[in-house]
């Protein structure tokens, strides 16, 4: 009896111990995020103004004079949206092909491995790769080059996330659809409906990564104080704006860097909130 | 329409010989029950009849299955046409990720059977499976909101909507509660006049209640096949006798 009671106490203690360990980890993870957002807010809110998001940098903006970062804001949205759409156009056919027509598991395995490796490559390497191509083609830094390079950066994220989502599709759903005499292309349509919420998550991850990436657009998209008016002209981006503003010795300009970072974070937060709200609608018919 | 003829059918999963030299004539407008213990090849046989088996990458099929005088395994045969003419009601109900209406309308849509009267087709099929009264007010809500028994009837309506000649039922009542199971059973009985039905079941009593002919399988081989009455009252094979008296299986 005594032994049983002692064992019970020990197991309860064990549980409490691990419970607190998990809570501590949670606190660590959320705490770091909170601290980052906190610092950005604390140092950036002061510099945040309507002028900041609505006007272009005037002469001397980087020395503390008037102006805003509209160029970087619009540029980043162009870059991230363009890259995500482009990567989506590649990732969806690739993943759906692997799951419907490619009968050999070996091909699927190799493509997954390749995508995993691509995911791990630092984005500066993509930047250098894009730059090398541009040089050989004689193209200057431009919105187009930035979008193409950034699309390569987010492609593995999109494709692998979508791949995992499609992998989770119940086998019986495929059987039921094909048993109705559907072609594999028609089955893809059903698969797409079933994967919509996952696809949205994948897009979200890709967009978040794309809009925040500085290294890949550094050489390829360039930077400009103007709004992008052509695919073949350079374009500014928020991460690079943060980088340039932080690099100045003036505290009031550095505050603008934090304000720019705050705007970047707000965009990601806004897109993510919108996605989660639409998830409920998109997921209405999904078979679980 | 809808008579099946299985000739020298062999199936391998990798190196495992799952179906061995099956020969059987399945008469039209009858319920043929396929019985046998778990793993004897019942479901494999059933899925080889609408070529769903070949979705499995390791599978190899040899032999022929004739539907109305044509081999469904003929090289140039369109597999979607085969599956349209030979419908399947699976073990577990699995609605498509769509509304109740779209689930039934899916088949007619992809095969171009609708010709503008899709609403009528959907209604007729839902009525045929006794689901219309229960869902008429919520045709556009997700199919997953239905109970499991209702979902299975929806799946039956979906299968019938593509106008098959043969209906394959793979233990279609196994995952249902007893009342829903009885509902599906009586539906299958009413469908006998219009379809050739092949029904896999592990439930001997269900076979007794429904079948016109019974096919008994054991370890991938066809042991005995004949009219239900003779099969149950005067089984010819010792193995069948033992199975029916539940000495084996």
Q: Quote the DSSP letter at residue B213.
A: E
Q: HEC profile for A9-69?
A: HHHHHHHHHHHHHHHHHHHHHHHHHHHHHHHHHHHHHHHCCHHHHHCCCCCCHHHCCCCCC
B84 contacts A287? CB cut-off 8 A: no
- By C-alpha distance, the chain B residue nearest A191 is B97
Report whether pLDDT(A194) > 70.
yes
Q: What is the pLDDT of residue A123?
A: 93
How confident is the model over B98-107, as pLDDT tens digits? 999 999 999 9
Q: Which residues of B touch A284 (CB under 8 A)?
A: 142
Tokens of B22: 């099956």
A176 contacts B94? CB cut-off 8 A: yes
Q: Which residues of A touch B155 (CB under 8 A)?
A: 176
A30-34, A284-288, B15-19: lowest mean pLDDT where?
Answer: A284-288
A37-41, A200-204, A225-229: lowest mean pLDDT where?
Answer: A225-229
B98 contacts A180? CB cut-off 8 A: no
> What residues make up the domain containing A86?
51-285
Q: Which one of B82, B94, B159 has the shortest CB-CB distance to A173? A: B94
pTM for this structure?
0.85
Q: B170 — phi, psi (to 5°)? A: -100, 90
Report DSSP letters for A209-254, one per residue. Answer: HHHH--HHHHHHT---SS---STTS----HHHHHHHHHTSS-HHHH
Query: How many Å separate Cα A217 from the centre of its chain?
Result: 14
Q: Which residues of B touch A176 (CB under 8 A)?
A: 88, 90, 94, 96, 155
Percent share of chain B, pLDDT over 70: 100
Q: What is the pLDDT of residue B217?
A: 94
- Give yes or no: residues A171 and A34 share one domain: no
- Give yes or no: residues A209 and A227 share one domain: yes
- By C-alpha distance, the chain B residue nearest A170 is B94
- Give yes or no: residues A104 and A170 share one domain: yes
Tokens of A163: 């791949």
A105 contacts B142? CB cut-off 8 A: no
Binning pLDDT at 50, 70 and 90, where does residue A174 land? very high
Q: How far is B88 from chain A (nearest CA, A)?
A: 6
What is the sign, positive or negative, of the torsion defined by CA atoms of B42, B45, B49, B53?
positive
Nearest to B49 by CA among B14, B22, B17: B22
Q: Which residues of B touch A286 (CB under 8 A)?
A: 97, 144
CATH number of B4-244: 3.40.50.300
How confident is the model over B206-249, as pLDDT tens digits? 999 999 999 999 999 999 999 999 999 999 999 999 999 888 77
B162 CB near a chain A CB, below 8 Å? yes
- Give yes or no: residues A229 and A86 share one domain: yes
How confident is the model over B108-122, as pLDDT tens digits? 999 988 777 899 999
How confident is the model over A61-109, as pLDDT tens digits? 887 778 889 999 999 999 999 999 999 999 999 999 998 887 667 888 9
- Give yes or no: residues A76 and A175 share one domain: yes
Q: Decide: residue B20, CB within 10 A, 0-12 exposed, 13-18 middle, 19+ buried.
A: middle
B57 contacts A180? CB cut-off 8 A: no
B143 contacts A180? CB cut-off 8 A: no
Q: Decide: residue B178, CB within 10 A, 0-12 exposed, 13-18 middle, 19+ buried.
A: exposed
Q: What is the pLDDT of residue A267?
A: 92
- Give yes or no: residues A192 and A238 share one domain: yes
- CA–CA dist B19, B142 (Å, integer): 39
Torsion of CA A151, A153, A155, A161, to 10 degrees: -140
- Give yes or no: residues A95 and A34 share one domain: no
Residue B105 neighbours by CB under 8 Å, 6+ apart: B114, B118, B121, B122, B161
Q: Decide: residue B196, CB within 10 A, 0-12 exposed, 13-18 middle, 19+ buried.
A: buried
- Give yes or no: residues A162 and A277 share one domain: yes
How confident is the model over B154-171, as pLDDT tens digits? 999 999 999 999 999 999
List, in sequence order, every beta strand (DSSP E) within B68-211.
70-71, 86-89, 166-170, 196-200
ipTM passes above 0.85: yes
Q: How far is A96 from chain B (nearest CA, A)?
A: 16
- Give yes or no: residues A79 and A206 share one domain: yes
Q: What is the pLDDT of residue A106?
A: 84
Q: Which residues of A touch B87 (CB under 8 A)?
A: 179-180
Report whether pLDDT(A53) > 80.
yes
Chain B 86-125, residues with CB within 8 Å of chain A CB atoms: 87-88, 90, 92, 94-99, 106-107, 110-111
Binning pLDDT at 50, 70 and 90, where does residue B72 land? very high
Sequence ranges of the domains in chain B? 4-244
Q: What is the pLDDT of residue A103?
A: 66
Q: Which residues pair with B25 in a beta bridge?
A: B5
Q: B217 — phi, psi (to 5°)? A: -115, 150
Q: Which one of A181, A183, A190 has the shortest CB-CB distance to B96? A: A190
Q: Which H helix or E strand runs over B101? A: helix B100-111
Taking a C-beta distance cutoff of 8 angstroms, is the pair B168, B87 a contact? yes
| Contact residues, chain A to chain B, C-beta under 8 Å | 103-105, 170, 172-183, 186, 190, 193-194, 284-288
- Give yes or no: residues A176 and A122 share one domain: yes
- Give yes or no: residues A171 and A247 share one domain: yes
How confident is the model over A238-272, as pLDDT tens digits? 999 999 999 889 888 899 999 999 999 999 999 88
Q: What is the pLDDT of residue B230?
A: 93
Residue A221 neighbours by CB under 8 Å, 6+ apart: A75, A79, A141, A142, A143, A145, A146, A147, A149, A150, A234, A235, A237
B96 contacts A177? CB cut-off 8 A: yes
- Give yes or no: residues A116 and A201 share one domain: yes
Name the 3-class secondary structure at B111: helix
Binning pLDDT at 50, 70 and 90, where does residue A281 land? confident
Q: What is the pLDDT of residue A279?
A: 83
- Domain count of the fold of chain A: 2
């Amino acid at each position: 009896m005594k032994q049983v009671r002692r064992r019970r106490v020990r197991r309860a203690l064990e549980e409490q111990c691990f419970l607190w360990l998990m809570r501590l980890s949670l606190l660590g993870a959320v705490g770091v995020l909170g601290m980052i957002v906190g610092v950005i807010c604390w140092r950036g809110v002061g510099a945040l103004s309507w002028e900041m998001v609505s006007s272009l940098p005037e002469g001397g903006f980087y020395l503390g004079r008037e102006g805003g970062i509209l160029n970087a804001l619009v540029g980043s949205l162009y870059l991230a949206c363009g890259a995500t759409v482009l990567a989506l156009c590649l990732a969806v056919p690739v993943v759906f092909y692997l799951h419907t027509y490619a009968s050999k598991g070996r091909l699927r395995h190799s493509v997954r491995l390749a995508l995993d490796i691509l995911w791990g490559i630092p984005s500066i390497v993509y930047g250098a790769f894009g730059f090398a191509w541009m040089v050989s083609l004689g193209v200057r830094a431009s919105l187009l080059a930035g979008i193409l390079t950034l699309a390569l950066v987010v492609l593995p994220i999109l494709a692998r996330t979508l791949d995992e989502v499609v992998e989770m599709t119940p086998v019986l759903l495929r059987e039921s659809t094909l048993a109705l005499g559907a072609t594999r292309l028609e089955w893809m349509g059903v698969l797409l409906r079933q994967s919509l919420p996952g696809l949205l998550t994948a897009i979200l991850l890709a967009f978040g990564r794309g809009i925040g990436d500085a290294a890949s657009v550094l050489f390829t998209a360039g930077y400009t104080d103007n709004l992008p008016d052509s695919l073949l002209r350079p374009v500014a981006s928020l991460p690079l704006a943060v980088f340039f503003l932080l690099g100045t010795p003036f505290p009031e300009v550095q505050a603008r860097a934090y304000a720019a970072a705050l705007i970047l974070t707000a965009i990601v937060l806004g897109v993510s909130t919108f996605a989660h709200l639409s998830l409920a609608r998109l997921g209405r018919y999904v078979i679980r | 329409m809808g008579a099946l003829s299985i000739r020298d059918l062999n199936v391998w999963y990798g190196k495992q010989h799952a179906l061995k030299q099956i020969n059987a004539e399945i008469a039209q407008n009858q319920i043929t029950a396929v019985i046998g213990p778990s793993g004897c090849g019942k479901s494999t046989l059933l899925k080889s009849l609408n070529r769903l088996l070949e979705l499995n990458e390791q599978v190899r099929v040899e032999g022929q299955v004739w539907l109305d005088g044509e081999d469904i395994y003929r090289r140039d045969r369109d597999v979607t046409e085969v599956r349209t003419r030979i419908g399947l009601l699976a073990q577990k109900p699995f609605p498509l990720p769509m509304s109740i209406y779209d689930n039934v309308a899916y088949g007619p849509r992809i095969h171009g059977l609708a010709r503008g009267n899709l609403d009528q087709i959907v209604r007729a099929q839902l009525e045929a499976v006794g689901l219309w009264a229960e869902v008429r007010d919520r045709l556009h809500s997700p199919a997953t909101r239905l109970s499991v028994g209702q979902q299975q009837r929806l799946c039956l309506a979906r299968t019938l909507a593509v106008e098959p000649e043969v209906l394959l039922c793979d233990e279609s009542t196994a995952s249902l509660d007893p009342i829903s199971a009885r509902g599906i059973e009586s539906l299958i009985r009413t469908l006998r006049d219009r379809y050739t039905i092949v029904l896999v079941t592990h439930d001997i009593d269900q076979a007794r209640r429904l079948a016109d002919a019974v096919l008994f399988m054991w370890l991938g081989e066809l042991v005995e096949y004949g009219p239900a009455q003779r099969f149950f009252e005067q089984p010819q094979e010792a193995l069948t006798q033992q199975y029916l008296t539940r000495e084996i299986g």
